[in-house]
Amino acid sequence: MRLSEDNVRVALEIIGRYPRPRSATIPLLHLAQQQDGYVTNEAMAHIGELVGATSAEVLGTATFYEMFKFEPVGKYLVNICGTMSCALLGSEELMHHAEHTLGIKAGSTTADGLFTLEHAECQAACTEAPTLQVNYRYRFRVTNETFDQLIEDLRAGRLADEIPAHGTVAKIRQRIPADKGVGAVPPESVTAPPSWMPAAEAAK
């Protein structure tokens, strides 16, 4: 899907913060994924138009990054960390249990489209092993019991306030008020040192 009118407004605001529009590619891919749950070809073509790249270039960028999905995934993406600290404290056993509870293997989506289970890499919470993220929201020191409870809560919609559907990562966006921001300029149109640098220092 192309970006909606509202999302184009957000996109233009994001693009405006960078000296070169292409820098907005990854944030706009996130925006597309937030809109559709995954990144569609139409969205990539649209992003290309907005940032001045071909859709192939946008695809090239998008496919490098783990978080972008190119086909529908579950409403809840469950990522279980399997790197060393978590593995030392039973992440493999947890994954085994999760596969059993959800009735799917890591890398798959449940038939009802609610859950996708993935093996993830170090989530920067190593002291709280084993860890997982649901749509990039943490759960620490997960046991078989707390895992099952989590799945039940998600099914029942009890965590909807905390955990948005797949596609939304941060729920708060940066906003730079027009009267406060300095504004981005292309690098080639800046040649002088910044105003606060003494001229002698700037020459160094």
Partner 1 sequence: MTARAENYPYTPGFYAGDRPEIVTSRFKYEDSYTLDRYLATGGYEGLKAALAKPAPAVHEEVKAATVLGRGGAGFPAGTKWGLTPPGVFPRYLVVNGDESEPGTYKDRLLMERDPHQLIEGCLIACYAAGLSQCFLYIRGEMAVAQERVAQALNDAYAAGYIGKNILGSQFSLDIVLHWGAGAYVVGEETALIESLEGNRGMPRLKPPFFPAAIGLYGQPTVVNNVETLANLPWLLVNGAAEYVKIGTETSPGTRMMAVSGHVKRPGVFEVVNGSTTFRDLIYGEEFCQGIRDGHELKAFVPGGGSAPWFLADQLDLPLEGRQVGAAGSMVGSGAVMVMDETTDIPAAALTLTAFYAHESCGKCAPCREGGTWLMRILERVVAGHGTSRDLDQLIQVGETICPGNFPHASSERLGLTAVPFPYKMTTICFVGPSAYTPVHSALTLFRDEFEAKLVKRTFISVSSAPVEVAAANTQSAGAHA
List binders of partner 1 among 132-171 (CB under 8 A).
133, 135-138, 140, 169-171
CA distances from 68 to 38, 56, 77, 145 (A): 7, 15, 12, 30
Which x/- pattern, by CB under 8 A, does the window 78-97 give for partner 1? Answer: -x--xxxx-xxx--------
Q: Quick check: 75 and 125 in contact, CB under 8 A?
A: no
Cα 129 to chain centroid distance, Å, stands at 22
Residue labelled with tokens 């039940």: 152
Q: Does 105 bind partner 1 (CB under 8 A)?
A: no
Residue selected from 8, 114, 126, 159 as contacting partner 1 according to rule CB under 8 A: 126
Site for partner 1 in 25-64 (CB under 8 A): 25-27, 29-30, 51, 53, 60-61, 64
Q: Does 71 bind partner 1 (CB under 8 A)?
A: no
Specify the amino acid at residue 128. E
Q: Does 65 bind partner 1 (CB under 8 A)?
A: yes
Asked whether the bond before 130 is cis by omega within 30 degrees of 0, the reply is: yes
Whichever of 8 and 87 has its CB closer to partner 1, that residue is 87
